[in-house]
Chain A
Amino acid sequence: MPEQLPNLPTHAARAAWRPSRRVLLQTGLLGALGLWGVSVVARGIPSAAAAEAGAPGAAPVADGSDVALAFFRPKDRPLAGAVVEALLDWALPPDPAARKEAVERSVLGADRYFASYTPAVQDEARQALDLLELAPVRWLGGLWSDWSVAEPAAVNRYLEGLRRGRLNLSRQVYRLLEGIATVGWYSQTAAWPGIGYPGPPDVPRPTGEAPL
């Protein structure tokens, strides 16, 4: 892989580098191209990686916090959490502990949601995550830090590059990531006061064992 990459800025240059919008658009395009290139090269690899990290449809995998994942693999958590925090930093609780918990609950909410997808669609989404988690693909999109430590502002620049990317694939990947954040967070009751949604009405519903 590395020999296919363009010259990357040195560490010092990276710290000083403030990309213009034009550069961002280009890196978004490069990122998408990288995604495409790697996806061609890596067909078949994700399934092996998935088997290692907890295969789709296999027994649920715990990550140490005793919460089973149905769609994500434990290795996806940093990326998913970074995307939630980047897109919704303005909406999440400011207190660090409460924010961490809100992000965690959003990731689990998105996990449940994606687990309802048709298996073939789940596989496509997992392939996209596998690629995004490869460091060279991240670099091509202009995101230098690992997902687990990336600053929300840097993640947002990366997401904007995908969103405005020239390739369909880039914009599709943006929708996937955007869905992790918005579906994950707004399926939580804790999210609703922030937008003024009062929640559904409390309606006495039919009870009992009969189907109707």
Chain B
Amino acid sequence: MSRTVHDASALEGDLTLDADVAVVGTGAGGATAAEVLARAGLRVVILEEGAYRTARDFTLHEGTASETMYYDGGSRTTKDGAMTILQGRTVGGSTTVNWTASFRVPDAVLEHWASAHGVQGLSPQELAPWYAAAERRLHVAPWALPPNPNNDALARGCKALGYEHGVIPRNVEGCRNLGYCGLGCPINAKRSMLVTSVPGALDAGAVLVTRCRAERVTLRAGRAVGVDAVALDTRGVRPSGRTVTVRARAVVASGGGINTPGLLLRSRLPDPHQRLGRRSFTHVVNSSLGLMPEPVDGYMGAPQSVHCAQFLFRDGVGGKAGYQLEVAPTYPLLSMSVLGRAGRQALQRWGPRYRHFQSLIALVRDGFHEQSPGGRVVLRDDGSPVLDYPVSDYLWEALFDAYLRMAEIQFAAGASEVLPVHTDAQPYKSWAEAKAGIPRLSRRPLGPSLFSAHLMGGCAMGEDASTAVVDSHGRHHQVEGLAVIDGSVFPTSLGVNPQMTIYALSTRNATHLARSLGGKVAVRHDQDESTSHPMS
């Protein structure tokens, strides 16, 4: 079956397309939604800002991958520059370049959403079949091979200290343990959207337009009736001067946690309670580099296969901020640019020992406490969105606790030196030294190096229109015909890597949308849904 893909950078004139549904984005939310809608017999047009790069383009050359498949080359930052955001900008979105960790959200988070945020129909029992379907489709299973030395150090350290740790489930099939998931899987073993729902949607007749940035949702009589977009140049950065217009019966916004609120803000939609863009969350990540006696070669082998949830919910959901510990692969450009933040001396002293780097990260959950309101997406003068994300004392407490625990684990795993990734830090030679030194490091912005690869919230779901942007099915509270289907509907962060939860929720909500538009949905896992949300 032929697939219809337009590269908007090659357009010689303006392009107008008619559809039942316009979907903005091809990541975990958009591709999932597009496939469900197209398979239900609806005419779907998908707009994607990035280019259509596939395994044959994946040279595993980090510079090329960064420039061509990440937002701002992997250096997207929050408004004050203090947090670096790794986000895909390519067909498949971040799923094309993520590190394959595939978790279900802890039950306690879903229960918190129901009790504190008015989310309905998403109890652990109700979401379970949707998770199961996504896990089957994406071949999710706990990683069966031994962890690479980078991950093994986390397991070893946890074991020595008595911290609970586990094996990470991954969405791979026929994986050769290369370790380059973050630069695009060259053998199509990663079951990303690039090799599942994107081709699934195209084969069901969806039309994909790449290098095309959605500017606004168009409204008629208060109803969403399409999307105005601009074609981009070959870099996918600047408008080429051509436009892309989609006329549709419904619009699905799936640009993820910064770009979806950005699109809706630019569209000047009714927002009577000023909720749009608020409560935008990340998992705030800090990191610690250990030097191991033996080479770790952390760029080889499954990047994430061991995790430690010991500190995630120590005091329950609403207590002190918690964090999950994982490792980060040590690709050279990423590692050396992060090391450079510690200055030239650190570069010169540690650079030659690059193969011995062991890299731990802590993912701090945000949004569960009154002192944890997350950030806010705002528009720059040119309309591009940026995340304003002040880090509260509540989060700093968790981040500094995590610096300590990471150093402790690295020394317990045999590290000779540990460097908390922080502007003011010097390498510590022992746990005692680290324990004394870490609490004295500054908490000013751009002191601690903060990262995130997980964008959530900004278009929170909930049944109360005074606190939420969309309802529990992702339908916009004020605008008919507009749904948000991506991680931006989460009312808090998750505490775990979000891709599986986005797949599960998006399949459910896209199925609901398909039915409401008269689509024919075959077998779906909606036995609970039919009772709580009867369809017309």
Contacts and interface: CB of A to CB of B under 8 A. Distances in A.
Interface string A98-133: 000000000001001111111111100000000000
Given A90-B348, A114-B73, A200-B59, A163 B337 contact: no
Interface in B52-100: 52, 54-56, 58-64, 66-68, 70-73, 75-77, 80-82
B352 interface: yes
A212 B199 contact: yes
Contacts of B270: none
Interface string B493-512: 00000000000000000000
Nearest to B338: A182
- Chain B interface residue number, banded: 35 or more
B186 A182 contact: no
Contacts of B5: 211
A183 B337 contact: yes
A179 B75 contact: yes
A206 interface: yes
B524 interface: no
A189 B447 CA distance: 31
A205 interface: yes
Given A116-B72, A160-B343, A171-B446, A205 B55 contact: yes
Contacts of B382: 119-120
B195 interface: yes
Contacts of B533: none
A115 B77 CA distance: 16
Contacts of A120: 380-382, 384
A12 to B, nearest CB: 29
Given A113-B67, A197-B354, A200-B59, A168 B187 contact: no
A192 B381 CA distance: 40
B52 A182 contact: no
B237 interface: yes
Contacts of B344: 86-87, 156, 159-160
B6 interface: no
Nearest to A113: B73
Residue of B71, B187, B188, B333 with most chain A CB atoms under a 10 A cut-off: B333
Nearest to B384: A120
Given A172-B446, A182-B337, A208 B72 contact: no
Nearest to B59: A200
A4 interface: no
A186 B340 CA distance: 12
A57 B238 CA distance: 8
Contact of A178 (B235, B238, B337): B337
A67 to B, nearest CB: 16
A135 B76 CA distance: 30
A119 B423 contact: no
Q: Which of A185, A207, A208, A212 neighbours the largest number of chain B CB atoms within 10 Å of its CB?
A: A212
B133 interface: no
A72 to B, nearest CB: 15
Contact of B352 (A121, A194, A212): A194
B262 to A, nearest CB: 11
Contacts of B139: none
A61 interface: no
A118 B352 contact: no
A21 interface: no
B347 interface: yes
B316 interface: no
B219 interface: no
Interface in B303-361: 332-333, 336-337, 339-341, 343-344, 347-348, 351-352, 354-355
Interface string A28-56: 00000000000000000000000000000
Contact of A192 (B180, B332, B341, B446): B332
A182 B384 contact: no
Given A112-B67, A178-B341, A197-B332, A118 B237 contact: yes
B238 A116 contact: no
A112 to B, nearest CB: 6
A85 B455 CA distance: 36
Interface in A146-179: 156, 159-160, 163-164, 168, 171-172, 175, 178-179
Contacts of A112: 63, 67
Contacts of A168: 80-82, 444-446
B63 A187 contact: yes
A201 interface: yes
7 contacts: A87-B347, A187-B333, A197-B355, A201-B60, A203-B187, A206-B56, A211-B202
Given A116-B70, A182-B333, A183-B63, 14 more contacts: A87-B340, A91-B351, A121-B72, A164-B423, A168-B444, A171-B446, A175-B341, A178-B337, A182-B337, A183-B73, A187-B63, A200-B59, A205-B55, A207-B56
